[in-house]
Amino acid sequence: MTQVLIGVRGLRAGADTERVLEALCALRGVGSAQSPEEGQLEVRYQPELLSAMDLIRSLREQGYLAGML
């Protein structure tokens, strides 16, 4: 597993974060996702199945501006 820290502009703690975490965990190859701080996501994933850019693309498709930290 590879770990990446992603910054997400406009992501607030609570229901927004929970919805985003659930969507990320539903992606094939994501082992875990958590939010250590508001606006940040820590994601563990299998690099042979998807890339960090795939994770960021998923967040952008949900309407968030995201990038690696």
3-state secondary structure of 34: strand
CA distance 34 to 44: 9
At the topology level, CATH places domain 2-68 in Alpha-Beta Plaits (3.30.70)
Q: The pTM is what?
A: 0.92
Q: Where are the domains of the chain?
A: 2-68
Amino acid code (one letter) for 56: I
* Predicted confidence pLDDT, tens digits, the chain (69 residues): 999 999 999 998 898 899 999 999 999 999 999 999 999 999 999 999 999 999 999 999 999 999 999
Say if CB 64 and CB 25 are below 8 A apart: no
